[in-house]
Amino acid sequence: MAPDTVPAPGARAVLDQAARRRTIAVISHPDAGKSTLTEALALHAAVIARAGAVHGKGSRHGTVSDWMEMERARGISITSAALQFEHHGSVVNLVDTPGHADFSEDTYRVLAAVDAAIMLLDAAKGLEPQTLKLFEVCRHRNLPVLTVINKWDRPGLDALALMDEIESTIGLRPTPLTWPVGIAGDFRGVLDRRTGGYTRFDRTAGGATVAPEDHLTPEQAQALEGEAWTTAVEESDLLAASGADHDQETFLAARTTPVLFASAVQNFGVGRVLDTVVEVGPAPTPRELVTGGARPVEAPFSAVVFKVQAGMDAAHRDRLAYARVCSGVFERGMVVVHATSGRPFHTKYAHAVFGRERTTIETAYPGDVVGLVNAGNLRPGDTLHVGAKVEFPPIPSFAPEHFAVVRARDTSRAKQFRRGIEQLDQEGVVQVLRSDLRGDQAPVLAAVGPMQFEVATYRLEHEFGAKVMLDHLDYGLARRTDASASAALRGVRGVEVLTRSDGEVLALFVDRWRLGTVVKENPDLLLEPLVGARV
């Protein structure tokens, strides 16, 4: 055994703590109900009998302060990066994937920090573009995915048709754990496919955390629901006959996805989601190393930085890095090694952060997320460790879909401009592409979400003193290519080849149609999709 993998004292305790952890993220398209589900999960776990604390963007503000109160009262720790709570003896770390307008590479990087994902679908919409993009990242990481069909209380697609869509679009075989009784829009409850029992949706139950559920026998269900129950049983039998039953091994191998039906806004089915995460969700496992092999969870402390946030909050003008513990115990005050620079990093200030509020984290175990303050040198993908050198593979860059040329407004600020671009590139705020044709004064910024440009422009001006001009380019997709393609594609209309700062050569295309014709005319060119791209 290599010296750095010798278990630290207390390895047994670390293993026990790691085994209790479930570190997950929700992937969904905006409006599928991610915030509603997240809040409902947190409230469920906290068992706070308070009505109306969940729901809706309008009341989001109120909910936030409710959370902080909960945090004090119940020891739940909330960060803008992760929400931690206990359920049935397990510790769930729900790592936030920012949705909506701030969709960016950060969203993807979160998936490098979790052990499983909940794919949340709107029953009326099925698989939507953002869900698919995020799913591609899960596939790349071989992450187990649990599927939740939300908004079953509203008219939507047929349940079996939804299962077909999942299987044919993403190739994951759905293995429903529950099956809806009543079509979408007439949600009466769910058939528990394991026990055959009926969980009835009780619309009269009040409160955000009182589960609006009654548990009934199949006979009672038949008497109460008649035709709707019969249909559910028949469909469930059909699923069983086609082998669509949950299998832990194929789920962990990311070949099948357990499915649950829910109405997050009405808090129905939410408890079951939580139970399922704890029951079937994977605990942290050894993480692969650059040098080959994997770091056991009971090895001395190591963590991977997956998100860096700078200058966002006027009250705390420092830089925050979020790291996921991969092995060992994190204790506040520890001096760890930043693998990239080889320099020590003091963790005196380790926090759980939510907005302006910070609470101090004292101890964290594999699967947990810590926010590190004064993290000026840390970058997404960096490794922190104690003892002999440990290095995890970098987090892959994702397929950009937005491109813009950036130039300094004032040429006398060229130095500041160059320094700023270099810094943003290293932090992973945007990707930076260059070509001889365009020169160093006018690099191309590439992003997965347009919001990344705003952050870059703002920071170039305010942090580096370089006002810039952005010229949006018409390209909409990128493919990985090589130097020989670069020569072949020179001068082809609607295509441009540039080199990313990590050395990757990217061919940009205005649209899918242009890509199609280029592929047809040059069948031998290397043109591979990048991570996160919809193939």
d(CA 266, CA 122): 14
d(CA 382, CA 502): 15
Nearest distance in Å: CB 151, ligand GDP: 4
- Give Cα 215 distance to the centre of its chain: 33
Nearest distance in Å: CB 174, ligand GDP: 19
Nearest distance in Å: CB 259, ligand GDP: 15
Residue closer to ligand GDP by CB (options 125, 255) is 125
Q: Which two tokens stand for residue 211?
A: 């589960």
Residue closer to ligand GDP by CB (options 174, 269) is 269
The three-state secondary structure class of 168 is helix
Nearest distance in Å: CB 56, ligand GDP: 5
499 DSSP β-pair partners: 434, 505
Residue closer to ligand GDP by CB (options 15, 270) is 270
Residue closer to ligand GDP by CB (options 202, 511) is 202
Residue closer to ligand GDP by CB (options 38, 84) is 38
Residue closer to ligand GDP by CB (options 123, 429) is 123
Output DSSP code: residue 57.
Answer: S
Nearest distance in Å: CB 150, ligand GDP: 5
Sort 491 into a burial class: Cβ within 10 Å, 0-12 / 13-18 / 19+.
Answer: exposed
Plot region of 427 (φ>0 → left; ψ -120 to 50 → alpha; else → beta)? alpha
User: Tokens 């010798």 identify what position?
Assistant: 6
Nearest distance in Å: CB 190, ligand GDP: 13
Report the run of H or E that residue 491 belongs to, with start and end. Answer: none
Residue closer to ligand GDP by CB (options 60, 490) is 60
Nearest distance in Å: CB 326, ligand GDP: 29
User: Tokens 């079509």 identify what position?
Assistant: 183
The three-state secondary structure class of 184 is coil
Nearest distance in Å: CB 420, ligand GDP: 32
Residue 33 has, within 13 A of its CA and on its CB side, a CA count of 29
Pairing of strands 256-261, 145-150: parallel
Binding site for ligand GDP (CB under 6 A): 28, 30-36, 55-57, 99, 150-151, 153-154, 263-265
User: Tokens 């079953």 identify what position?
Assistant: 152
- Give Cα 489 distance to the centre of its chain: 35
Residue closer to ligand GDP by CB (options 28, 397) is 28
CB 333 within 8 A of CB 356: no
CB 173 within 8 A of CB 256: yes
